[in-house]
C-alpha cells in the first residue's frame, strides 16, 4: 500500500485534503482526528525502516493572509489554528514553518529518493519559485483544491508506485518488536529459519520476525530458491558455488551451505539466470 503523509497550516484544509485523498484511493476515511499530534521526527524515523516509496503532500507556506509564530499559524483574525494530527488511515505531519521546509524535504529525500512529493501552493506564480535541486517535485496542487487535479496526480503516482513494486519483485512486510517493516525483496540476500523465527538478511541489516520459512518461501518471488531445509537465497545475489564444499558465496561475502537435496534446483536456477 502507498503510505500517505499530509501537511497543511489550516486544520480545515488539512481535513479536506485528507478526505479528498481518501476518496480518490477508496479508503474508509475516519472524520475524527486523534488528539495526539505526530511529530515530524517520528515520521522520518519510521521511514528509515521502510524501503517502500511514500507520498508526501506538503503545503508550501505563503505569507498571504497569515503569519507563522512559534510553529503555529495565526490567522489575521487572531484565532489560532491547531497543529496537524494523526488518523488511522493517513499520517498528518505537524506544522512546518517555511524556513524548515527545505530541511524537511531534504530529510525525506535522504530517507528514500523514490518518495513522491506534491506541493500545495497558493497561486500558479509560486510554482515558478526557485527551490533546491533535491526537491524533485512530483507536481503542484493549487488552492483551493481541485479534486480532479488531485485524482490525476494520484493516479499517475499510484501507477508508478505499482511499476516500482514490480521492478523490485514486491515488498516483504513483517512485524518485529511492535514495528511494521516493509523491505524490497530484491534487497534481501537470504532467509534463514531459527526456531519459530525467520531471519531476513540485506547487505546492511538483519531482521528477525515470527513466521514459518515455508510461508516466507511461498510468498517470495521466484528469484528466491530453497537451498537448505532452513535457507532460501536470492539467486540474483549469488557470486560463486563450490560444489565440493557445498557452499554458496553471496555477493555481500556471506557463505551459505546447500544440501544435496536442493543441488539440482540450485544449479538449474543459476543456469537459467545466466541465460537471461
Which class would CATH give 171-274?
mainly beta
Determine the Cα–Cα distance for residues 253 and 269; give it in Å rounded to an integer: 20
Q: How many CA atoms lie within 13 A of 186 on its CB side?
A: 9
Q: Where in the chain is the domain with CATH 3.40.50.2300?
A: 3-167
pLDDT at 89 over 50: no
Architecture of the 3-167 domain: 3-Layer(aba) Sandwich (3.40)
Helix, strand, or coil (residue 25):
helix
Determine the Cα–Cα distance for residues 77 and 259; give it in Å rounded to an integer: 75
Residue 86's φ and ψ, nearest 5 degrees, are -120, 135
User: Quick check: 171 and 185 in contact, CB under 8 A?
Assistant: yes
**If pLDDT is split at 50, 70 and 90, which confidence band does 143 have?**
confident
Cis peptide before 144 (omega within 30 of 0): yes
Nearest CA among 67, 73, 121, 66 for reference residue 95: 73
Where is pLDDT greater, at 221 or 170? 221
Percentage of the chain exceeding pLDDT 90 = 30
State residue 196's pLDDT score.
92
For the segment 20-40, the average pLDDT, to the nearest whole number, is: 48
Query: Rounded mean pLDDT of the chain?
Result: 76
pLDDT at 73 over 50: no
Lowest mean pLDDT among 13-17, 108-112, 241-245: 13-17
Helix, strand, or coil (residue 39):
coil
Which DSSP string corresponds to 59-71?
A: EPP--TTEEEETT
233 Rama class: left (phi>0) / alpha (psi -120 to 50) / beta: beta
Where is pLDDT greater, at 180 or 174? 174
* Rounded-to-10 torsion of CA 142, 144, 145, 149: -50
Pairs from 198-201 (Cβ < 8 Å, separation ≥ 24):
200/172, 200/174, 201/254
**If pLDDT is split at 50, 70 and 90, which confidence band does 1 have?**
low
Q: Where in the chain is the domain with CATH 2.40.50.1020?
A: 171-274
Determine the Cα–Cα distance for residues 153 and 117; give it in Å rounded to an integer: 10
User: Quick check: 36 and 85 in contact, CB under 8 A?
Assistant: yes
Give the helix ranges, DSSP H, for the chain: 11-25, 40-48, 98-111, 147-167, 213-219, 263-274
**If pLDDT is split at 50, 70 and 90, which confidence band does 227 have?**
very high
State residue 184's pLDDT score.
83
pLDDT at 87 over 50: no
pLDDT at 210 over 80: yes
**If pLDDT is split at 50, 70 and 90, which confidence band does 276 have?**
low
pLDDT at 66 over 50: no
Amino acid at each position: 500500500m502507498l503510505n500517505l503523509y499530509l501537511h497543511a497550516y489550516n486544520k480545515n484544509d488539512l481535513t479536506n485534503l485528507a478526505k479528498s485523498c481518501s476518496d480518490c484511493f477508496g479508503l474508509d476515511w475516519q472524520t475524527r482526528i486523534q488528539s495526539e499530534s505526530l511529530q515530524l521526527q517520528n515520521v522520518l524515523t519510521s521511514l528509515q525502516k521502510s524501503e517502500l516509496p511514500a507520498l508526501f503532500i506538503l503545503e508550501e507556506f505563503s505569507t498571504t493572509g497569515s503569519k507563522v509564530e512559534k510553529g503555529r499559524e495565526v490567522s489575521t483574525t487572531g484565532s489560532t489554528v491547531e497543529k496537524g494530527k494523526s488518523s488511522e488511515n493517513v499520517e498528518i505531519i505537524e506544522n512546518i514553518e517555511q524556513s524548515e521546509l527545505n530541511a524537511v524535504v531534504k530529510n525525506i529525500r535522504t530517507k528514500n529518493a523514490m518518495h513522491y512529493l506534491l506541493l500545495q501552493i497558493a497561486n500558479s506564480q509560486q510554482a515558478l519559485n526557485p527551490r533546491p535541486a533535491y526537491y524533485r517535485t512530483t507536481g503542484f496542487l493549487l488552492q483551493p483544491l481541485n479534486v480532479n487535479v488531485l485524482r490525476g496526480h494520484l493516479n499517475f503516482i499510484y501507477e508508478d508506485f505499482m511499476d516500482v513494486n514490480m521492478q523490485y519483485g514486491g515488498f516483504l512486510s513483517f512485524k518485529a518488536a511492535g514495528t511494521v517493516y516493509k523491505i524490497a525483496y530484491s534487497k534481501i540476500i537470504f532467509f534463514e529459519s531459527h526456531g519459530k523465527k525467520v531471519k531476513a538478511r540485506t547487505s546492511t541489516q538483519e531482521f528477525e520476525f515470527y513466521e514459518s520459512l515455508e510461508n516466507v518461501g511461498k510468498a517470495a518471488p521466484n528469484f528466491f530458491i530453497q537451498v537448505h531445509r532452513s535457507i532460501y537465497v536470492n539467486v540474483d545475489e549469488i557470486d560463486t558455488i563450490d560444489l565440493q564444499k557445498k557452499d554458496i558465496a553471496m555477493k555481500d561475502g556471506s557463505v551459505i551451505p546447500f544440501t544435496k537435496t536442493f543441488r539440482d534446483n540450485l544449479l538449474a536456477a543459476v543456469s537459467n539466470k545466466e541465460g537471461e
